[in-house]
Structure 1
Amino acid sequence: MTAELGAAGFGHGIVRHGVVAYRLVYRTIDPRGQATTASGLFVLPLNSARRLQVVSFAHGTGVDKSDAPSMQRGTFLSAPVIAHAAAGAAAVAPDYLGMGKGPGLHPWMDIGSETTASLDMLRAARTFAPRTGHVLQPRVMVTGFSQGASAALGLGRALQAGDDRWFRLGALAPVSGAYDFGGTELPALIEGRLDAKSSVVYAAYTLVAFNRLHHIYDDPGEVFRAPYDTTVEALFDGAHTGQQLMQGTPATLDELLTEHGHNLLAHPTGPLKAALRTTDAVCTDWTPTAPIRLYMAHGDEQAVTANTQFCHAVLRSKGVNAPVVDLGAVNYHGSRHLGSNVAATAAIVQWFSELRHP
């Protein structure tokens, strides 16, 4: 287990147990409230106590259905889940709708369905756990990276509100999130303050994914320049790899976006503006009462750190002590954004362990 986590780039010092991993396929609902199914990863520590505290981890952005924790072993996507279990927790990670073994398309950055998929994953794990000889304790420690940072806050909000009769929020540790996606992240993307290629990918994903749920354009040609107006939407069908996405998109936003597409992201209006109000509410429309820390890496080239500063300021205005943990100049394959997930994992495992055993 130590070698497997190390090979994925994650630290060795957190391993206390071997682990056993399961893929759970469970019932949940889609963004319109219709019945569907989703999958997720459930990892348990071997030779551990019968009653286990739960850690829920929400993963970062992927485009292929296999870009999900339950589909990969000992990789960047699954390593944080495995790390928490190796430290003695019952760890769960939803794949989200349309990822892993879930049907249909993935509703990217849709906080509502990320929340219900995460909450129903916890319920599925609680139902399954007795088959392994374990019982899950009510208190849930919630964390997530990048896209998953907002998903983690959505789950924390639901747990605190009592949306489940068993589980309750124990602590929150989101990492490198775009918490103010419309007000902070999109302007940074449009103004060229982020990595150029990442900006192209996120701009395309924003327009395609939000259009599926909120109908922000009638024809791709309104927002995407030729030839991408005929190809970009298909790249986000869950069957294309990240490499294919990188190869199938241009190097700059000017090559990708029409003037209308550029203006829509720079100054959202109509259905997009309304949808972003919901996306951006993860820090603003509730007051966490559980311990919370916000993790980030300065110089993040994908999620501008002003997102974290925004969330911190909002929470502080509500009287919430939410320390910002700057992970420094961390790198993973040349990316500080990805490096923050690696560096934060060990720190969060330690913090959650301290909260379990003060």
Structure 2
Amino acid sequence: MRTTASRKAAVAAGMALALCSATAYTAEGATDFSRSKARGELISAEALYTLTTPQDVTSQLESLGFQGDSVRYGVDAYRLVYSTVDAHGSPTTASGLLVLPHDFKGTLKPVSYGHGSELFDKDAPSTDPQGFNAAAPVTYAAAGFAGIAADYLGQGTGPGTHPWLDVPSETSATLDMLRAAREFVPRTGSFLKRDVLATGFSQGAEAALGLGRALQQGEDPRFRLAALAPVSGAYAVRDAEIPAMLSGEVSAKVSVLNVAYSYAAFDRTYDVYDKPTDVFKEPYADKVEGLTDGQHNWQELAVATPGTLDELLTAKGRDLIEHPQGNLDEALRAADNSCKGWAPQVPRRMYFTSGDDQAVNANIRYCLADFMSQGAKFPTVDVQSEAWHGSRHFGSNVAATSQIVKWFLSL
């Protein structure tokens, strides 16, 4: 459970990244969603920007703290809107970012990247396509892959609110983004290979594992899993993250933000409380749900909430996260299932940083134990990241991306 965002970076660094719009592409017969309900069907595509030269790409990546040592191409960035299902299986739409090598004609291996946790829906990759969450797919495209990043449900241009930490819906939105990309890419003169390289950071690490399991189980026979590289995931919210927040291993303020957001998000999806005052003390009970609706950023939530969990939570609210039961138990089982019940059969590496200040290292131990119970070893790589805007957690995404792109190129 983490706070990650390009918006946080923008506040800290004073960055102002412009969205460049260009040509719009519309899927024929798919503009009316009532007539377009096949999962992964492309509804529309919009060209966002082009960085013509490798030097342009390197400059953009380095401005965000990412390395450009694997850049070989300029890039073309697109926003795709596609059909998918919501957390309850009902038809909806979602958006995502597709980044391709500039002027490339040929066959591309897809890299599916899951971005880290966001609160403001426009901090998603396709609506902040030159920001922190877009840097990894840009890196992969500039190295010669197709960089594909789902915004997730309720983020980017998707309707509704985001069901945060819900691995099943993260998985379905990510898989359907792959399907939409497969439909669109031929319009650029290229094609996607079957072999999918799955990666992601923080929340996106769980999404990458969820996608990996879906592909390995054959949920789309036109794709197959080729490699897995999750980065700094909170794979065990119940057993690792919650204890770390309650014990003070995660900072008090980060714990407040994460518990506030997760309670509100879980309630929208799983109905974990009857009314906000059941779990939140006044005056925060009237604020949290409104500030976690996707229209506000982490800074706004931080200003409106207290400094400690004791100030935020009622006795019932604290007891429920210490001893999850009922619908919260169900929500946590969905959040914690990315490593459970399957054994990856492809090249795989789990990236992390020692001393992660948000996704504590205990998450790795629980995830590895789950895989071992299925007979699968999962090699780990400590990227030993430096802090990015004050956080080693964010820094692990920067450091791991540079290492993963080189590994993917070697496969």
Q: TM-score, normalised by structure 2?
A: 0.85
Distance 1:73 1:26 in 2: 17
* Structure 1 position 274, deviation (Å): 2.1
* Structure 1 position 48, deviation (Å): 3.5
1:46 paired with 2:46, answer no
1:84 paired with 2:113, answer no
1:190 paired with 2:246, answer yes
1:219 paired with 2:275, answer yes
Equivalent position of 1:352 in the other structure:
408
1:272 paired with 2:354, answer no
Distance 1:274 1:108 in 2: 14
> In structure 2, do the counterparts of structure 1 residues 329 and 52 end up closer, same or farther at CA, with 3 Å as the change threshold?
closer
Equivalent position of 1:19 in the other structure:
75
Q: What per-residue deviation string (whole Å, max 9, x for no partner) do you get for residues 157-207 of structure 1?
A: 100010002011011111110111112111111221112211111111111
Partner residue of 2:201 out of 145, 153, 157: 145
* Structure 1 position 340, deviation (Å): 0.4
Distance 1:170 1:329 in 2: 26
Equivalent position of 1:261 in the other structure:
317
Equivalent position of 1:310 in the other structure:
366
Give the unaligned 5+ runs of structure 1: none
* Structure 1 position 268, deviation (Å): 0.5
Partner residue of 1:199 out of 247, 255, 259: 255
Equivalent position of 2:184 in the other structure:
128
* Structure 1 position 316, deviation (Å): 3.0
Equivalent position of 1:288 in the other structure:
344
Number of residue-to-residue matches in the alignment: 355
* Structure 1 position 47, deviation (Å): 4.2
Equivalent position of 1:229 in the other structure:
285
After alignment, is 273-282 or 4-13 more displaced? 273-282
Query: Matched residue of 2:296: which SS?
Result: coil
After alignment, is 155-164 or 325-334 more displaced? 325-334
Q: Would you say the 8 A contact 1:190–1:265 is kept in 2?
A: no
Root-mean-square deviation (Å): 1.1
Distance 1:71 1:155 in 2: 22
Give the unaligned 5+ runs of structure 2: 1-56
Q: Would you say the 8 A contact 1:200–1:251 is kept in 2?
A: yes
Equivalent position of 1:93 in the other structure:
149
> In structure 2, do the counterparts of structure 1 residues 129 and 217 end up closer, same or farther at CA, with 3 Å as the change threshold?
same
Q: Would you say the 8 A contact 1:312–1:324 is kept in 2?
A: no
Query: Matched residue of 1:288: which SS?
Result: coil
Q: What per-residue deviation string (whole Å, max 9, x for no partner) do you get for residues 66-124 of structure 1?
A: 11000113221100010000000011000000000000010101111111100110000
AA in 1 matched with 2:339: C
Query: Matched residue of 2:94: which SS?
Result: strand
Query: Matched residue of 1:27: which SS?
Result: strand
Q: TM-score, normalised by structure 1?
A: 0.97
Q: Would you say the 8 A contact 1:292–1:321 is kept in 2?
A: no
1:181 paired with 2:181, answer no
Distance 1:347 1:317 in 2: 28
Runs of 4+ in 1 over 4 A off after TM superposition: none
Distance 1:350 1:329 in 2: 17
Query: Matched residue of 1:66: which SS?
Result: helix
